[in-house]
A = this chain, B = another copy of it.
Amino acid sequence: MNEKELHKGLGKLFGAPNTDDMRLFFKGKNKAMKNKLTSVSEAVSSLVMDGDYLAIGGFGGVRIPTAIIHEILRQKKKNLGFAGHVSTHDCQLLSAGKCFNRCDAAYIVGLEARGLSKNARRIFESGDIEITEWSNAALAWRFKAAAMGIPFLPARVMLGTDTFKYSAAIEMECPFTQQKLTALPALYPDVAIIHVHKADVFGNCQINGILVADDDISKASRKVIITTETIISNEEIRREPEKTVIPYWYVDAVIEVPYGSYPGNMPGEYFSDETHLKKWLLAEKDQETFEKFIEHQIYSSADFYEYLEKNGGMNNMKELVRLEHLY
């Protein structure tokens, strides 16, 4: 190894990549194909515990499990950790609820082209949150390592940068080529929350459009909560086995939530509500205004449907469906 100094990131590893422990966990999981239909509030109260580490499906403002995140806020879950791989509106929501104390950060506090969340930034600048830096691919591959049942995956990213320095990655040498590589530790979340297009009552899921990392997230996580636009029959799942992205045995809860990605985009179904997302960014500019805003939007809503009603109800949903199908 001579001249090759091998570095180690200074960041905290929020969970050990202990494959044998996770094997035992998965062994103990009940794998009978049973009906897992439940409600949003029941799923959150029984499966999301204070302190849990979350993985959120979709891509920040695309195919996100909004109903579950709102309920996490309403149930005042605290001290959560989460994987911030393109965490945009989801990061904004969890920040609004002050729900977390640690984060694996690849993309946080922003809403892509829409701008930055003032409230999320305030929280991440406060010094109260433990942050470990990663890149998007690094987090995607950390989920993949866990999904594959291996303690790490080698990769060629983050090398030489401060992103590496404040990560929890370890530099390693390839046993064959002796080249430097980044070893990315497997990431096993406590709970995955994922919104899909179609699922049966057992949790077999179909997704249209991009997967982002949801195939791997569902395999990596101890518990998986699925919200779905539509419940379909098991027969329909069996008609096109190539389309099943998430098989039932990973899934602990299934809830039918039409328009469940709102205000995010649901590929092929409805577009994102850009007006509503702008309202969020605007409300965040003043702390008092923002508190009233989230009280009105989330805390005082009995459930996701009341939230939808407050934001234009079916008329607005129909408009978003129209926008999605413009092209």
How many angstroms between the C-alpha atoms of A59 and B17 in the bound complex?
Answer: 33
Nearest-CB distance from A79 to chain B (Å)? Answer: 24
Mask: chain A, 143-166; 1 = CB below 8 Å from B; 0 = not: 000000111111110000000000
Mask: chain A, 35-63; 1 = CB below 8 Å from B; 0 = not: 00000000000000000000000000000
How many angstroms between the C-alpha atoms of A125 and B12 in the bound complex?
Answer: 54
Determine whether the beta carbon of B156 is less than 8 Å from that of A154.
Answer: no
Determine whether the beta carbon of A183 is less than 8 Å from that of B179.
Answer: no
How many angstroms between the C-alpha atoms of A174 and B154 in the bound complex?
Answer: 11
Determine whether the beta carbon of B17 is less than 8 Å from that of A177.
Answer: yes
Determine whether the beta carbon of B151 is less than 8 Å from that of A176.
Answer: yes
> Does A175 have its Cβ within 8 Å of any Cβ on chain B?
yes
Interface residue from B18, B152, B156, B207 paired with A175 (Cβ < 8 Å): B152
How many angstroms between the C-alpha atoms of A209 and B241 in the bound complex?
Answer: 7
Interface residue from B19, B151, B176, B209 paired with A152 (Cβ < 8 Å): B176
Interface residue from B20, B150, B179, B208 paired with A154 (Cβ < 8 Å): B150
How many angstroms between the C-alpha atoms of A284 and B181 in the bound complex?
Answer: 49
Determine whether the beta carbon of B175 is less than 8 Å from that of A170.
Answer: yes
One complex includes copies of this chain to the number of 2
Nearest-CB distance from A138 to chain B (Å)? Answer: 13
Chain B residues with CB below 8 A from A29, complex form: none
For the complex, count residues of A whose C-beta is within 8 A of B: 30
Chain B residues with CB below 8 A from A183, complex form: 175-176
Interface residue from B16, B151, B174 paired with A151 (Cβ < 8 Å): B174
> Does A254 have its Cβ within 8 Å of any Cβ on chain B?
no
Chain B residues with CB below 8 A from A208, complex form: 242
- Given contacts A151-B154, A153-B154, A170-B175, 6 further A-B pairs with CB under 8 A are A17-B174, A19-B156, A20-B179, A151-B176, A170-B176, A175-B183
Minimal Cβ-Cβ distance residue in B for A174: B151
Mask: chain A, 203-241; 1 = CB below 8 Å from B; 0 = not: 000011100000000000000000000000000000001
> Does A263 have its Cβ within 8 Å of any Cβ on chain B?
no
Interface residue from B17, B19, B177 paired with A19 (Cβ < 8 Å): B177
Interface residue from B150, B176, B241, B242 paired with A156 (Cβ < 8 Å): B150
